[in-house]
Structure 1
Amino acid sequence: MGDDTRIRVLNRNIRFLSYTLLSLYLGVMSYMIYFQVFMAEDIEAKQGNVRYLAKTNKVLRGNIYDRDGNVLSFSERQDDGSQKRVYSGGTAFSHPLGYASAQYGVAELEKRMQEHLTNYSFDITLSAKDFLGMLKDPDSYVGAEKYGDNVVTTLDSKLQRAAYKSLGSQYGVVVAMDPSTGEILAMVSTPTYNPSKIDTDYESYRNDTDGVMVNFANVGLYPPGSSFKVVTLASALENLGNALGRTFEDNGKIEFADGTVLPNLGNRAYGTIGLEEALVVSSNVVFGTVAMEIGNAALRKTAESFGFNERFSFHDINLEASRFPELSKSQGGEIAQTGIGQGEVLASPLLMAMITSAIANDGVMMQPRLVSAITSHDGNIRAAFESKTLKAPISKEDSDTIAAFMKEVVDQSSAANLKNLEKLSAAGKTGSAQYSELVYEELVTGVHSWFIGFAPYENPKIAVAVIVRGGGSGAGAAAAVAEDVISTYLGK
């Protein structure tokens, strides 16, 4: 073999070895890139992995917006490489949004949207200009664009702040919804806390006896009082023959065999009245009588069709189960109490807003929604959440009847707050719910103020449920807040 031949063979072997080594190198680097880009996030998402905590800081947490694109919370990168969560919406938004803290974790919407807010994707450009740089240092290349996705809520900032201001120092809850879509327009619970100070004041917030960190809108359970009479009315329309043609004798009180009494407010007697007038004057006698005539099983079935005794968990919000009891036929007094929203009946403000929305929406209850969309850092829509029907508890005919009766409740009232609601073409029902609870081993009694309603009556745009804890008459504190909220939303 000549020298030229040996040189050609040697060069061929060198080229073959070079190609082999290059292929192995590219293979290893490709796997590293694949691991960094596609696998690292899945591994980091496992909270038992030590990289999980690193991930929450490595990704700049996404923003949360209101329905109009105003920023409610965002994160800032600090000089030491950590990030600080800023709540530009202020304390008015603390309960629906919750908090995000490297020290104390996440809560409420910040928790339910954690996967989205800490999600990032890579835009890999395989141009000749970038390819060699990516092979050399893939981690720095892909790490350049680690921004969390953004969450767009259904909240109306102007309405949220109006509800928060109207409640003021009172302890209470406001939930406002679009009855036709289920969108939550406002959700306020007081007293509240400052999520921007969670790292410094967490312990004092957590130990606060007023439960400032609890969102009572969806987990608080209260006797609904006379606001529940719309449910008893729905059950009467379904279960009593010729319900609208019936009249009832109201002598001011119901006396039971065991000596207990269910009176009207002030023991006032209304004489012979039908269901419409009974709702207008809020007759305990009539609705207690109706509950006994319908029976516990039928009334409970109606209540459950509206969502009682059922816990809901949606992707953006959960709802604690409101309660309606199972009673025997011999418990006449207790059955009568349930017909007026007392006894063992407990309801969350969110469910009462959903019930009101169903009445305003032809008997169709929409799934409550707090999030409308997920967007990327550069504004592209990653997911959009459409309206969904949750239940259809009553017929359109019955919902029209109840809505008309609720309109008369407002129109025929002489209370100042309801006269103002009449000017907004609102329909509603007040509630004055008696309660008793143990506070530091001492029994405390009082009256919660409730108002549920919607407006305008002819074409409902907003449905509200308001409770002022210990606020007294429903025509007072709760109706005043409802008027502020509805007038703000309708721009009147």
Structure 2
Amino acid sequence: MRNDIGEIRKNIQNVTFALLGLLAILFIYLSYIQVVEQDFLVTHPLNRRNAAGNRNLQYGMILDKNGEKLAYSEKKGNSFTRTYPYAAITAPLVGYDSAKYGKAGLESTYNSYLTGMNNQLRHLGAISHLWSNQTGNNVVLTLDAKLQEAAYRALGEHRGAVVVMSPRTGAILAMVSKPSFNPNILEQKWESISTADNSPLLNRAVQGLYPPGSIIKVMMADAALSEKITDMNKTIRCEGILQVPPDYVLEESGHKAHGNLNLEEALTVSCNVTFGTLALELGGKRMAKTFDRYGFKRPIGPDLQEVQSHLPDFNSLGNGDLAQTGIGQGSLLVTPLRMAMLVSTFANKGIIMKPYIVDKITDSDGNSIKEFMPEEWLTPTTSQLASAINKMMVTVVNEGTGSGAHLSGVKVAGKTGTAENPHGDSHAWFIGFAPADNPEVVIAVIVENAGAGGSIAAPIAGQILAKALH
């Protein structure tokens, strides 16, 4: 009998300790949520408690650099709704705010500031608004709405993206993605917008991954010079094809034989044989080092929501794939933003500035709460080599494939690309900057399935550069 009682007591003790352990784990988890995850959960745009309370709150505005309204709250009945004056022109970047479908873009990223939930009482959720201003904070962008509109119009009916930024600061001046959508009628049109084959909800500037094609050759030129594979005088002979052991053949566009070319001449005519040869001489290890130098695997932060580039495994690349990578083909995939950052190297003396889109946060009275400053991100090459590539890119526009971007009275530097695409016609690319001798803006343009970069993307870039400079 006593043994039975002892056994029961022991079991009760075990159960008690187990329950106390579970309570301790629960306490630790709740403490973790309250302390560590508090900001994330309270300010998250999918927090329904906040969403319900915030409908009675006048969100702050999203403004361009000149004070143009890109998003603001309008009173309708007893609640507020968001209005987007530029509609589809800025929608992929600014995003949307829907009671039914949530938030996207900057509306989501800067939700805590726009709703005023960044205050000290935010852990109380929607109740915090009883003690706080009923107007959220304003988010002031680096974007120029007029330039954004010009870039949107310049793309016409094409699918694609445009990124314009300052090489000196990294400030994004325009970021266009087409096709787009009208956030003012998002809820009425959600079914057709969300299921459309042309993906209007995708911000192609930062979420579209494309083979770069020949625009990668500016980086390849820098790599070949940096690694002393070539110099400005050494020539490579182009017979129209490059035999790559054991059994791959890299072809020139139209099988055109360029003859003996130095590096500048090869970039001017975009010679595949030259840059395929340089890639083979660099080898996988130094190719990997080059992409690493330019930060292709390094994230730039959450604000712009850029997807990571897809790089080949250089350690396992065969010669044929290596040559293909040297001309921007194969498994290499990049975003338009990443290529704007790449070309900014040669516009800014070898320095890449970290791209940013928000200039400052202000309260409803216009007082600054938080400011964002330019920040050096990487220095992938020397100022001397950056200057050499700069001059070569000027020749590309003056004498070569980039002539469509030529501007009267302004020296433009650029590089075109025609990227083969396994899913359809080739994509047309242009990257560049102007004025070349004192760059104010850099640009990256991609036009999906449009063919040659020189005939399609370069003239679009020229229109946008002209607007940006005047």
Displacement of 1:47 after TM fit?
Answer: 7.4
Q: What displacement does 1:278 show? A: 0.7
Amino acid at match of 1:111: S
- In the alignment, which of 129, 150, 155 is matched to residue 143 of structure 2? 155
CA pair 464-415 structure 1, distance change in 2 beyond 3 A: closer
CA distance in 2 between counterparts of 1:67 and 1:212 reads 25
How many residues are paired up? 427
User: Residues of 2 paired with 1:370 and 1:257: CA distance?
Assistant: 46
Match of 1:432 in 2: 418
RMSD: 2.4
Structure 1 residues 335 and 58: CA distance shift in structure 2, 3 A: same
Q: Aligned equivalents of 2:46 and 2:101: distance in 1?
A: 16
- Select which of 66, 86, 90 maps to 1:89: 86
Residue deviations 1:316-338 (CA, integer Å, cap 9, x gap): 21221112212357711111010
**Any unmatched runs of 5+ in structure 2?**
1-37, 120-126
Residue 307 (structure 1) shift: 2.3
Deviation for aligned residue 1:44? 5.6
**Does the 8 A contact of 1:363 with 1:399 survive in 2?**
yes
For 2:348, give the aligned amino acid: N
What is the deviation of 1:249?
Answer: 1.5
Q: Distance in 1 between matches of 2:252 and 2:39?
A: 62
CA drift at 1:231: 1.2
By how many angstroms is 1:41 displaced? 10
Q: Give a deviation string over 1:172-195, Cα, whole Å, max 9, x none.
A: 100000000000000001011001
Aligned match for 2:355, one of 364, 368, 382 = 368
Gapped regions of structure 1 (runs ≥ 5): 1-39, 123-138, 438-444
Change (3 A) 1:296 1:455: same
Q: Deviations along 1:377-399, whole A, 9 cap, x unmatched? A: 01100001000111111111111
**Aligned residues: percent identity?**
38
After the TM superposition, which segments of 4 or more aligned residues of structure 1 sit over 4 Å from their partners? 40-50, 139-144
Flag the 1:87–1:270 CA change in 2: closer, same or farther, 3 A: same
Q: Deviation per CA, 1:277-332, whole angstroms, max 9, x where unpaired?
A: 11011110000000000001111211122122334323x21221112212357711
1:291 aligns with 2:270: no
The TM-score, its normalising length taken from structure 2, stands at 0.86
Paired residues of 2:241 and 2:250 also in contact (CA < 8 A): yes
**AA partner of residue 195 (structure 2):** N
Mapped to 2, the partners of 1:297 and 1:385 lie a distance apart of 37
Distance in 1 separating the partners of 2:401 and 2:42: 62
The within-5 A match list for 1:44-443 is: 45=43, 51-79=49-77, 81-119=78-116, 142=130, 145-241=133-229, 243-314=231-302, 316-328=303-315, 331-413=318-400, 417-418=404-405, 420-421=406-407, 423-437=409-423
Match of 1:33 in 2: none
Q: How far apart are the structure 2 equivalents of 1:243 and 1:56?
A: 62
Q: What CA deviation, in whole Å up to 9, does each residue of 1:382-426 have, x standing for no partner?
A: 0010001111111111111111110111111377624x3464311
Paired residues of 2:43 and 2:111 also in contact (CA < 8 A): no
Q: TM-score, normalised by structure 1?
A: 0.82
CA distance in 1, matches of 2:442, 2:40: 41
Q: Residue 221 of structure 1 aligns to a residue in which SS?
A: coil
TM-aligned CA deviation for residue 152 of structure 1: 0.2
Instruction: Check conservation: 2:309, 2:333, Cα contact below 8 A.
Output: yes
CA contact (8 A) 2:430 2:454 kept: yes
Higher alpha-carbon deviation: 298-307 or 378-387: 298-307
- Could you say if the C-alpha distance between residues 121 and 414 of structure 1 is closer, same or farther in structure 2, counting changes exceeding 3 Å? closer
* Residue equivalent to 1:34: none
- Whole-angstrom distance in 1 between the partners of 2:463 and 2:399: 20
Query: Is contact 1:415–1:475 with CA below 8 Å preserved after alignment?
Result: yes
Determine helix, strand or coil for the equivalent of 2:85. Answer: coil
**Kept after mapping to 2: 8 A contact 1:432/1:473:** yes
The amino acid that maps onto 1:109 is L
Larger CA Rg, structure 1 vs 2: 1
